[in-house]
Structure 1
Amino acid sequence: MAIAEEYIRLIFGLKIKQIRTDKDLSLFGLSKLSGLSKSYLNEIEKGKKYPKTDKIIKLAETLDVPYDSLVSLKLDKNLAPIGEILQSGILDEIPLELFGIQQSDLIDIIANAPSKVNAFISTIIEIAQHYNMTREGFYLASLRSYQEAHNNFFKDLEEKAIRCANSYQLNLEGKISSVELEEILKEEYGYNINEAGIPKQEELDNLRSVFVPSTKTLLLSDRVDEAQKTFIYAKELGYQYMKIVDRPYTFSWIKYNHFEEVLHNFYASYFAGALVIPRNHLKEKLKKLFELKRFSEKDFHKIMSLYNVSPESFYQRLTNILPKDFGMQNVFFLRFTHKLGVDKFNLVKELHITNQQQPHANEVNEHYCRRWMAIKTLQRVANENLDYAFNIQISDYVDTNQQYLVFTSATKDPFKEDYYRSIGIGFLISPALEKKIGFVNDAKIPKIKVGVTCESCSIKDCEVRVAPPKRLLAKQQYKKTSALVDEIVKQYS
């Protein structure tokens, strides 16, 4: 049934229930006055049934309200936010079944407690406005929750990538090249590829590819390197092999029209990662690395160099493999961007498996801890004008006593002058992790006290602090006030 019909039924049911409760009438009482059965009225109020005209007239007379007011889709101010979110169609755009939720379940909740749900929705809207939450931001947050709920591992996509590789005789033990994938796209799917098809304009700096479906033309920026080109081709192959039609046509700048595009873009990206970094091959290489008692940066990069991928693609692939095949829970992935000469670091991508870890995004313009390896490596690349830098540390969070083993790589942004980015992955250190990674206790890995943001950090005399701990000071002030109030109450009790 179309959401428009569900919306009409639900709005009518909400109105009946609101008017009935305002008149202090029970369902039994309304049934007695109107001559309609209690069970039928209950179905109406839950939005499951819409009465015929004669019954609406009877309800209007019984409740003493105009017929036109009752059938109008306009809600009063108390229920208006519910109407806005239902009419927007956002519940229809997000595939709730991915999270084990049926749309009818939400409708039942709204119908059974409209005032409470209204308060909740109003709160969500207010928070979204306060933090400039866009519809696209909401979609991406929903996708991230979907990934985290599945520990970022999707067996069906892994299997499809393997079947595709076998079908086109791609070597899952070696480095897949862009030339191989380009040949498949041209010969099997009729692609026309223009490797310098995107104009050099500042507004298009973030655009690496554009697909024109009517002519099957794939336009590339002439600044994409071999690894980026391979990933783009692998994504396109994913769209075609999995017969995905509803998809975005640009990368890496993307304008999402609805959640299906967000989800399908993720499917194609995951497929591409699984294709160019085969799971079983990577798993065997990581086993040998983790057996070492001393961390070897050379061995780490040797594994990365086995695949035709960027550091970001490699780190992203680790978030698929490590939780699933090594049982490493409590993993985080962070991606930062930074412009030379600007004292600001933007966290533009994050993933937390299985719970939200200590380092996480904030939208209150606070300053991320400058002791984070992600920030330090990013500063080094920018200040020394390096093409690439890597480092590792154990981050010891002062306010929770949790420690994370963190790997970070940073690079220049090839598309924007004076811009840099870092990619990091971290693991919560525990007895279980110490059994899986032999070099966790390597004394040569520096252990650094860190916070989350300067505004919430309790580290004293921090040499890289860029803002006072105002949130921490506010908490301390509140705690002192509370203690003094307790003393006053105790004195006069």
Structure 2
Amino acid sequence: MEQEYIKLIFGLKLKQIRTDKNLSLFGLSKICGLSKSYLNEIEKGKKYPKPDKIILLAEKLDVPYDQMVSLKLDKNLAPIGDLLRSKILKEIPLELFGIKESDLIDIVATAPAKVNAFISTIIEIAQHYSFSRESFFLASLRSYQEANNNYFDDLEQQVLKFAKAYHLNLSKTLTSKDLEEILIEEYGYSINNGELEKYEALENLRSLFVPETKTLLLSADINEPQRAFIYAKEIGYNFLAYTDRLYSFPWIKFDNFDQVLNNFYASYFAGALVIPKTQLVPQLEEVFKTDHFDTKKFLSLINSFNASPESVYQRLTNILPNSFNIQNLFFLRFTHRLGSKKYHLKKELHLSHQHSPRANETNEHYCRRWVSLKVLNDIKMSQKDHEFDIQISEYDGEDNSYIVLSSATKDPFKDNQFRSISIGLLMNKQLSRKVKFLEDANIKIQQVGVTCERCAIKNCKERQNSPIVLDRIAKNKKVESIVEELQAKFKS
């Protein structure tokens, strides 16, 4: 174990033994002859006493020496010991949020019982929701993105620096051929387009990088925009000099949070390279300046880049907060299989605050009035390559309205599987100053909920289940009201 954690565990045990014997720090200082300040530093995990001092403490507290130095904690503090032994504090990206590990250790040492209860609660919630290490890291990454409004100017500048160094004209569409040449000539890559197809189990893998030989294996099923993005991401890893990285896309495993973070940085670099800010902003201004929403103009914007619709929508989450000061937004990606009644929210990002809708892990039914789900049903029927729709969603009971743009496409790697990507913009004064088509009468206004089980909308034809959660809350309130009436009736 880390030496500081060993000191902390000893301090926790000393404090527990002392408090169990109803001794204050002053009292312990009196009976063992050690200063109160020294004992306080031991209990906070800042110092570890020498053997002679441990023998003295064990004698005065009437506790066996072996028990004092053992790393085992009793059941009341065991979860804290498990936490320290797991080294999870080393994996949490505390530095991203300006938190020092020593701050957390001080909190643990100051109120171990309360912290233990908190940790136990978090562990129980994590187990109940099957909260994995991957989920934890991705949640940390989302929080980091949200804290920075998902815009990273240093990466934007690196893209401009790269384009200048390699004489790339960002006013023109970048092709995979342009980027492949740089990978091969500058970074010594070898491109293999056939090997992955030999392994049926790898049908969903788009790329795999082998660092020892700098070989990039690509799926034969990827299209031109996907190939360009993969190349741009590999360039990002190299140009930004990230060696601690993930090697497959999508990833199979990771060893630490730095790999997850570097994967995000390389992906951001790729998005900024194939969808340059200087090209995207003027086109968005054209879409926003008219008093009606021009679908053809928006789809033309998407198609003007050598990128998938999902990449363009994700790029909007970078550009809208920075260039238009539109910071209240959400991004969603749903997947849906033909013949299934389930819709899975696979990716989400919320800027400024936690908007609805949110990922729901309790098997409730997402509102079927969402445009995100509508376009999935549309593309099932039409079998087109791309379905688009726009809607103003008014959330029942939340006094919030969003204008939501959503696109659905087929999943090129899974038969009969579809995905939708959506971006929702909170309708407020700031949005109305930047976007002129909010009053467009052709944009459908829809009252929506979050899940059917929590929705109070009456006579909803799309409802998949009764509002059982709301019914339970109403029942509890009724019981509470009757109890209060009874207490008032019989208290005198």
Would the alpha carbon gap of residues 332 and 150 (structure 1) be closer, same or farther in structure 2, given more than 3 Å must change? same
Report deviation, 1:74: 1.1
* 2:116 pairs with 1:111: no
Kept after mapping to 2: 8 A contact 1:388/1:409: yes
Q: Matched residues in 2 for 1:252 and 1:370: separation? A: 29
- How many Å separate the matches in 2 of 1:457 and 1:386? 32
Match of 1:206 in 2: 204
Query: What do residues 92-133 of structure 1 show as CA deviations (whole Å, max 9, x unaligned)?
Result: 122201011000000000000000000000000000000001
Q: Residues of 1 paired with 2:454 and 2:323: CA distance?
A: 36
SS in 1 for 2:221: coil
- Structure 1: how far apart are the matches of 2:160 and 2:254? 29
Distance apart, 1:161 and its partner CA: 1.2
Show the counterpart of 2:339: 341
CA distance in 2, matches of 1:400, 1:268: 37
SS of aligned partner of 2:195? coil
Quote how far apart the aligned CAs of 1:396 are: 1.0
Cα displacement string for residues 184-241 of structure 1 (whole angstroms, at most 9, x for unaligned residues): 1111110011122213545323210000000000000000000000110111000000
The DSSP-based 3-state class of the residue aligned with 1:409 is: strand
1:179 to 2:199 alignment: no
CA contact (8 A) 2:409 2:418 kept: yes
- 2:93–2:140 CA contact under 8 A, matched in 1: no
Q: For the residues of structure 1 that align with 2:231 and 2:175, how far apart are their CA atoms? A: 10
Q: Distance in 1 between matches of 2:153 and 2:251?
A: 28
Kindly indicate whether the alpha-carbon contact (under 8 Å) linking 1:336 and 1:374 is maintained by their aligned counterparts in 2: yes
Which of 455, 462, 470 is matched with 1:457 structurally?
455
Counterpart among 41, 45, 48 of residue 47 in structure 1: 45
SS in 1 for 2:197: coil
In structure 2, the partner of 1:257 is 255
> Structure 1 residue aligned with 2:156, among 158, 167, 180?
158
- Per-residue deviation, 1:329: 2.0
Deviations 1:411-465 (A, max 9, x none): 0000010111000000111122111100011110000110000110111111111
Mapping for residues 439-478 of structure 1, pairs under 5 Å? 439-478=437-476
- Matched to 1:210, the amino acid is L
CA distance in 1, matches of 2:199, 2:382: 27
Q: Is the 1:206–1:253 contact (alpha carbons within 8 Å) kept by the matching residues of 2?
A: no
What is the 5 A alignment of 1:324-339?
A: 324-339=322-337
Verify: 1:242 aligned to 2:243, yes or no: no
The percentage of aligned residue pairs carrying the same residue is: 60
The AA in structure 2 aligned to 1:480 is: K
> How far apart in 2 are the matches of 1:254 and 1:176?
28
Alpha-carbon distance between aligned partners in 2 of 1:249 and 1:396, rounded to the nearest angstrom: 42
CA distance in 1, matches of 2:283, 2:449: 33
Match of 1:68 among 45, 66, 69: 66
What's the CA shift for 1:253? 3.5
Q: Deviations over 1:353-405 (max 9, x none)?
A: 01000111111011100000001101111233222100000011122231110
The one-character-per-residue Cα deviations of 1:16-43 (angstroms, maximum 9, x if unpaired) are 1111111111111111111111111111
Partner SS, residue 446 of structure 2 = strand
Cα distance in 2 for partners of 1:474, 1:402 equals 24
Match of 1:231 in 2: 229
Residue 31 (structure 2) pairs with residue 33 (structure 1): yes
- Aligned counterparts, 1:73-472, within 5 A: 73-199=71-197, 201-472=199-470
The letter of the residue matching 2:95 is: E
- Hey, what's the Cα distance between the residues in 2 that align with 1:298 and 1:409? 13
- Tell me, yes or no, if the aligned pair for 1:455 and 1:472 is still in contact at 8 Å: yes
Could you list the runs of 5+ residues in structure 1 that have no partner in the other structure?
Answer: none
Letter matched to residue 84 of structure 1: D
Mapped to 2, the partners of 1:203 and 1:463 lie a distance apart of 41
One-letter identity of the residue aligned with 2:187: Y
Q: Under a length normalisation based on structure 1, what TM-score does the superposition of the two structures give?
A: 0.98
Amino acid at match of 1:173: S
- Contact kept, 8 Å, 2:197 with 2:220, in 1: the verdict is no
Q: Any idea what SS the aligned residue of 1:405 has?
A: strand
Count of matched residue positions in the alignment of Structure 1 and Structure 2:
491
Q: Give the CA deviation at 1:307.
A: 1.1
- AA in 2 matched with 1:254: I
**Which one of 54, 57, 80 corresponds to residue 56 of structure 1?**
54
- TM-score, scaled relative to structure 2: 0.98
- Deviates most, 475-484 or 241-250: 475-484
